[in-house]
């Protein structure tokens, strides 16, 4: 990419044009309709390399002049340079010399006479002044003269500075003469761009080393570390790309197209959900996605934690992850979007601190530890991190919101509730062509407007309960659930039966299960907890009740003598601590 940009810059310097054009075909072939290549006119690789080298030298000369020129170029300096520059050359190069001369000493009669003497032209120089020329820096004149043997007179350039203050000033001038800088406060990286480019790039070790080499060649006693410390200071103004992107959005009002509604309509309802009609599903999808998007805005701009993590469930290849990826603006995807697992390690924490949206598409293999980590991560309002090579830990506000996608139908294990993970079933293939027609800027402009108008960006208690009920159909059956369904039976509370604790239930089932299936079950604290949760999920009430004068807590249940279902060895999962899949 760097080599391509350098080649484009060199060609445009040579031939003229707009470096910010997005039409690469037009840059290289001159027309968007070009369909024939005249191979005899194709520039060789050696020619391209020479153009790039020439362009870089010309830009370096401009930076040298801006940094080290002792005084303004005089008429005699220009006259002396023109003696070395060939008067007959390619028209585009000739025009650049003329434009550089005008930039150096103006367009007065003496200048016109000097140019006419240097290179008599059929085009009157006075006409060139009136019609105007593209702006070319005076350094182009110096560079061209040097290439042809001219040496600057003594005093033309300043002597390299020696005092620390002067060196610092020259370093800053040299940097500013070639680039504009900013510090990305989200990624903690210094970015730069040239004056004739709209693309910001990250500084790299190679870039720092190259700048240091150029400065040393100019006589500055400087180190790579000092250049970096200069850049990583208030020399580079702070920049929040996520906030700036939101502030650049077009205005949206209620008379505009309902972009959020158009987006939600792309998710086909599912005929496997019997608890909701297709219309009710569409309403649910709208409520979940709109609330989540408003939460994204609140989190990114005001650092209010977005506790909602919608999960798209559907068959492989229906477009779940593509749908979620489209919600992140393309300009933010390189540095502020991530698809992958939330792991909790240092590198992952840094990555999360830099993102606007994270899509976890690896939820099916979750363990209880992973689930707890996700819940903890979606609840925090800041990140404490230390970037590579940094001296100190820093605390940065949270900007990231989370979403997920799964193929498996049953993947939730309801231990403490899954209200923050509303599941949206994708009932068919998402129309990706229609998705591409969704204007992401206007989509988020609508979300921003609704948020600033005070629309709710969180689930109230009623919605939380509804999500919890809906999620029951996505809960994975655990070993404890199977054991309860196999051995337990409800009994009426007639006041004569004692309640049984989860520990007692686990011990009784352990014996009966081994006697029936010859499958050993290890009763430990984890299994006892799981049995208790399974009893509650199965509708058994846990409470304290007196029996024969003693108060005892537990469940009213009958442990069957004969197993209700055939439960074979292959159905028994790992019962060791933390070994159970969960969400």
3-state secondary structure labels for all residues of 300-353: HHHCCCCCCCCEEECCCCCCHHHHHHHCCCHHHHHHHEEECCCCCCHHHHHHHH
User: For the packed helices 45-68 and 139-147, what is the interaxial angle rounded to 10 degrees?
Assistant: 120
pLDDT in tens, 239-255: 999 999 999 999 999 88
**CA proximity to 226, closest of 160, 167, 166, 161:** 167
Using a CB cutoff of 8 Å and minimum separation of 24, what contacts does 146-149 make?
Answer: 146/61, 147/57, 148/84, 148/85, 148/86, 149/84
Whether 468 and 484 map to the same domain: the answer is no
Q: How far, in Å, CA of 350 to CA of 186, rounded?
A: 10
User: For the packed helices 278-302 and 461-471, what is the interaxial angle rounded to 10 degrees?
Assistant: 120
Q: How far, in Å, CA of 183 to CA of 237, rounded?
A: 6
Count of beta carbons in the 10 Å neighbourhood of residue 65: 22
Domain-terminating residue out of 474, 500, 525: 474
pLDDT in tens, 432-479: 999 999 999 999 999 999 999 999 999 999 999 999 888 888 877 778
Count of beta carbons in the 10 Å neighbourhood of residue 394: 12
Whether 376 and 523 map to the same domain: the answer is no
Confidence of residue 43 (pLDDT cuts 50, 70, 90): low
Confidence of residue 299 (pLDDT cuts 50, 70, 90): very high
Least confident residue range of 28-42, 45-59, 170-184, 502-516: 28-42
What number of CA atoms fall less than 13 Å from residue 498's CA on the CB side? 10
Domain for residue 444, yes or no? yes
Whether 449 and 499 map to the same domain: the answer is no
Whether 435 and 551 map to the same domain: the answer is no
Q: Which two tokens stand for residue 230?
A: 């200069």
Give the SS3 label for residue 546.
strand
Q: What is the mean pLDDT of residues 505-524?
A: 92
Query: How much is the pLDDT for 505?
Result: 95
| CB contact at 8 A, 467 and 458 | no
Which one is predicted more confidently, 258 or 364?
A: 258
Query: How much is the pLDDT for 576?
Result: 34
Using a CB cutoff of 8 Å and minimum separation of 24, what contacts does 506-511 make?
Answer: 506/531, 508/559, 509/483, 509/559
Q: From residue 464, how far is each of 39, 282, 288, 456 by CA, in Å?
A: 67, 18, 11, 14
| CB contact at 8 A, 471 and 421 | yes
Domain for residue 208, yes or no? no
Highest mean pLDDT pick, 52-66, 67-81, 427-441: 427-441
Whether 462 and 483 map to the same domain: the answer is no
What are the residue ranges of helices labelled H in 429-498?
A: 432-436, 440-452, 461-471, 479-487
pLDDT in tens, 77-118: 999 999 999 998 888 788 889 989 998 899 899 999 999 999
Whether 331 and 257 map to the same domain: the answer is yes
Q: Which two tokens stand for residue 481?
A: 């659930």
| CB contact at 8 A, 488 and 560 | yes
- Predicted confidence (pLDDT) at residue 28 exceeds the cutoff of 60: no
Q: How far, in Å, CA of 529 to CA of 510, rounded?
A: 15
Query: How much is the pLDDT for 371?
Result: 77
Residue 333, domain extent: 252-474
Question: SS3 breakdown of the chain: % helix, strand, coil, rounded to 5?
Answer: 50, 10, 40
Domain-terminating residue out of 474, 504, 528: 474
* DSSP strand pairing (357-360 vs 238-239): unpaired
Burial class (CB in 10 A: 0-12, 13-18, 19+), 485: middle
Whether 464 and 324 map to the same domain: the answer is yes
Whether 453 and 564 map to the same domain: the answer is no
Whether 469 and 483 map to the same domain: the answer is no
Q: What is the mean pLDDT of residues 487-497?
A: 87
Q: Which two tokens stand for residue 281?
A: 């599903």
- Report the domain count for the chain: 2
Residue showing tokens 């496997």: 272
What percent of the chain lies above the pLDDT cut of 90?
48
- Tell me, rounded to whole angstroms, the distance of Cα 120 from its chain centroid: 57
pLDDT in tens, 250-296: 999 988 899 999 999 999 999 888 889 999 999 999 999 999 999 99
Segment (H or E) for 382: strand 382-385
Domain for residue 395, yes or no? yes
Count of beta carbons in the 10 Å neighbourhood of residue 539: 7
- Could you give the dihedral angle defined by the CA atoms of residues 65, 71, 76 and 77, in that order, rounded to the nearest 10 degrees? -20
Domain for residue 138, yes or no? no
Q: From residue 328, how far is each of 168, 322, 357, 369 by CA, in Å?
A: 41, 10, 7, 29
Domain harbouring 342, CATH code: 3.40.50
Domain for residue 502, yes or no? yes
Confidence of residue 381 (pLDDT cuts 50, 70, 90): confident
Confidence of residue 578 (pLDDT cuts 50, 70, 90): very low
What percent of the chain lies above the pLDDT cut of 70?
86
Domain-terminating residue out of 474, 509, 534: 474
What number of CA atoms fall less than 13 Å from residue 34's CA on the CB side? 13
Whether 425 and 559 map to the same domain: the answer is no
Average model confidence (pLDDT) across the chain: 84
Domain for residue 332, yes or no? yes
Domain for residue 461, yes or no? yes
Whether 362 and 293 map to the same domain: the answer is yes
Query: How much is the pLDDT for 572?
Result: 37
Whether 421 and 492 map to the same domain: the answer is no
Domain for residue 317, yes or no? yes
Query: How much is the pLDDT for 581?
Result: 32
């Amino acid at each position: 990419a760097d080599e391509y940009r350098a080649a484009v810059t060199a060609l445009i310097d040579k031939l003229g044009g707009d470096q910010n054009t997005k039409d690469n075909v037009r840059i290289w072939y001159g027309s968007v309709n070009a369909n024939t290549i005249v191979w005899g006119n194709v520039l060789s690789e050696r020619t391209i390399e020479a153009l790039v080298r020439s362009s870089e030298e010309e830009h370096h000369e401009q930076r040298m002049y801006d940094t080290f020129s002792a005084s303004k170029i005089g008429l005699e300096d220009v006259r002396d340079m023109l003696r070395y520059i060939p008067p007959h050359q390619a028209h585009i190069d000739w025009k650049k010399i003329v434009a550089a001369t005008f930039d150096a000493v103006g367009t007065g009669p003496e200048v016109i006479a000097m140019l006419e003497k240097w290179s008599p032209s059929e085009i009157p120089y006075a006409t060139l002044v009136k019609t105007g020329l593209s702006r070319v820096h005076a350094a182009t004149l110096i560079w061209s003269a040097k290439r042809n043997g001219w040496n600057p007179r003594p005093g033309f350039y300043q002597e390299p500075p020696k005092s620390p203050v002067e060196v610092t000033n020259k370093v800053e001038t040299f940097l500013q003469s070639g680039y504009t800088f900013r510090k990305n406060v989200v990624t903690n990286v210094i970015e730069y761009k040239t004056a004739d480019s709209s693309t910001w790039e990250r500084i790299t070790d190679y870039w720092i080393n190259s700048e240091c080499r150029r400065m040393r060649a100019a006589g500055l006693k400087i180190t790579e570390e000092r250049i970096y410390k200069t850049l990583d200071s208030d020399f580079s103004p702070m920049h929040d790309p996520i906030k700036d992107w939101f502030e650049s959005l077009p205005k949206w009002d209620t008379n505009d197209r309902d972009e959020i509604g158009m987006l939600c309509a792309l998710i086909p309802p599912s005929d496997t959900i019997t608890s909701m009609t297709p219309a009710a599903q569409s309403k649910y999808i709208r409520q979940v996605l709109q609330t989540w998007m408003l939460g994204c805005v609140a989190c990114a701009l005001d650092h209010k934690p977005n506790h909602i993590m919608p999960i798209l469930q559907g068959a492989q290849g229906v477009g779940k992850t593509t749908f979620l990826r489209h919600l992140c603006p393309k300009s933010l995807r390189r540095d502020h979007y991530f698809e992958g697992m939330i792991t909790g390690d240092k590198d992952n924490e840094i990555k999360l601190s830099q993102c606007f949206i994270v899509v976890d598409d690896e939820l099916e293999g979750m363990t209880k530890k992973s689930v707890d980590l996700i819940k903890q991560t979606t609840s925090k309002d800041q990140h404490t991190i230390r970037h590579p090579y940094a001296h100190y830990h820093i605390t940065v506000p949270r900007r990231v919101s989370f979403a997920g996608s799964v193929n498996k139908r049953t993947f939730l294990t309801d231990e403490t509730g899954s209200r923050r993970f509303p599941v949206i079933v994708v009932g068919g293939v998402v129309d990706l062509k229609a998705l591409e027609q969704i204007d992401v800027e206007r989509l988020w402009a609508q979300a921003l407007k609704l948020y600033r108008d005070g629309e709710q960006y969180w689930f109230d208690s009623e919605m939380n309960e509804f999500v919890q009920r809906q999620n029951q159909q996505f809960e994975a059956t655990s070993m404890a659930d199977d054991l309860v369904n196999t051995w337990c039976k409800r009994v009426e509370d007639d006041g004569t039966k004692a309640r049984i604790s989860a520990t007692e239930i686990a011990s009784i089932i352990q014996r009966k299960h081994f006697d029936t299936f010859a499958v050993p079950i290890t009763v430990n604290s984890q299994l006892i907890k799981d049995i208790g949760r399974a009893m509650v999920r199965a509708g058994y009430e846990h409470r304290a009740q007196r029996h024969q004068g003693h108060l005892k807590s537990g469940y009213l249940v009958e442990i069957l003598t004969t197993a209700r279902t055939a439960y074979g060895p292959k159905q028994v999962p790992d019962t060791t601590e933390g070994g159970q899949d969960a969400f």
